[in-house]
Amino acid sequence: MAESVLNSWDRPAPERAGKPSVFALLPEDFAAMGAPGRAEHIFVQCQHPWAWVDSRPRVSREIRDWMAEHLDCALPQIVERHGSEDGSTKLVLALADGERIEAVHMPRDVRNPRVTLCISSQVGCAMGCTFCATGAMGIRRNLTAGEIVGQVLVLLLELGPDKPHQITLVFMGMGEPLHNLDHVHRAIQVFNHERGLNISTRRITVSTSGLVSGIEKLAKLTPRPWLALSLNATTDAARGAVMPVNRVWNLARLRQALDQWSPGPKEKLTIEYVLMAGVNDTLEDADRLAAWMGELRHGHNLNLIRMNEHAASTFKEPAEARLATFVAHLKALGCFVTVRKSRGRDVQAACGQLIHKGHPQV
Ligand code: SF4
């Protein structure tokens, strides 16, 4: 894997018939395009999914005609819906060119109306992490900002919630979001806009495999989401074996990039560690993990994730006893650890399981 490949931000993301997507525009863009009517009103109507009943925003006929002439107003289409016994739902969405992506809707619990939406940023992924089904697909293309925003609007229209403050967004679906940073960041600008869904950056997390050039670029952008790092191994040899990105930017270089990230108030870095039996689950791994995190300059949380098994990988989750020993050892070393409850495993919706149906690996 060459650095030049990883730095190609804009792997083509199509603009249908040369028209920008209505969902990627901010109020100032509508104004600059000469939209008839108040630009802010048009933005508000376009960004509230509940205004899109019958696939039409609640704006005047004149504005609708203008939009139809100048903008791409197509939302992704739901082609499959898979409900998990744990209450989460995986939606398979078809994009305008026929490509498919997956997104997962995860309500907290029956008493809590808050919902986490796990969304995709690419069709497939170039990073090739060997434990991940999406990585087995390879990269097909980036999503446009309009497709990313449209994906969220479709999830909300179909499954709610209907109050934007109940939404948490995680870019942990298909793709490496920092490999499509321009479109991902434009989508975050739209999500964060006070007249749109107004989702605070504290409720938007971008998860990266360790694309250092992307971390450094994102660090300078505003608004800036919170960052999660998928670490998964504690030596360069082990990490390079399961995450090819480590052969370009090793653990030392990764730490350098993280140390330069200046966290906002209360912001914490999330470190994710997928536990794979016989790969990264020894007590020596736990020792190195504790040492690596202990040297991080910023506050952080450690999320351990059981390997979610799938047909595209031979890796297995560790036995419960092994997991418990690993956790106890980390705690004894002073680490604050959470074992993340995987959602949607029974419908292949859990972390690392998303893959284009019809792919030979499925
Ligand atoms: S874990 Fe993330 S970065 Fe790695 S292949 Fe899967 S989707 Fe891509």
Domain with 126, as residue range(s), is 3-8+73-347
* Residue from 101, 104, 123, 125 whose mutation best tests the ligand 1 pocket (most atoms within 8 A of CB): 125
Cα separation, 162 vs 171, in Å, equals: 20
Q: Which phi and psi angles does 273 have, rounded to 5°? A: -140, 105
Q: What is the CATH number of the domain that holds 208?
A: 3.20.20.70
Let me know if 46 is a catalytic residue: no
The answer to whether position 39 is within a domain reads: no
Report the b/e string of 186-209 with b at 16+ CB within 10 A: bbbbbbbbeebbebebebbbbbbb
> Does residue 99 carry a catalytic annotation?
no
Catalytic one of 102, 147, 176, 317:
102
Question: In this structure, is residue 355 part of a structural domain?
Answer: no
Distance 259 CA to ligand 1 centre (A): 23
Number of domains into which the chain is organized = 1
Nearest to residue 231, comparing CAs of 337, 320, 310, 140? 337
- 265 CA to centre of ligand 1 in angstroms: 29
How far is it, in rounded angstroms, from Cα 234 to Cα 252?
A: 11
- 97 Cα–ligand 1 center, Å: 23
In this structure, is residue 202 part of a structural domain? yes
- CA dist 249 and 255 (Å) reads 10
CA 327/CA 302 separation, integer angstroms: 11
**What is the residue-level pLDDT of the chain in tens, covering all 362 positions?**
655 555 554 455 555 557 999 999 999 999 999 999 899 999 999 998 777 666 677 888 899 899 999 999 989 999 999 999 999 999 999 999 999 999 999 998 777 789 999 999 999 999 999 999 999 999 999 999 999 999 999 999 999 898 888 999 999 999 999 999 999 999 999 999 999 999 999 999 999 999 999 999 999 999 999 999 999 999 999 999 999 999 999 999 999 999 999 998 899 999 999 999 999 999 999 999 999 999 998 889 999 999 988 888 889 999 999 999 999 999 999 999 999 887 888 888 778 877 765 555 54
Global pTM value: 0.94
Residue 279 domain-assigned (yes or no):
yes
Tell me if 30 sits within 8 A of 38, measured CB to CB: no
> Among the atoms of ligand 1, which is closest to the Cα of residue 135?
5
Closest CA to 245 of 344, 123, 126: 126
Probe target for ligand 1 pocket from 101, 171, 176, with the most ligand atoms within 8 Å of CB: 176
What three-state secondary structure class fits 359? coil
Would 52 be classed as within a structural domain?
Answer: no
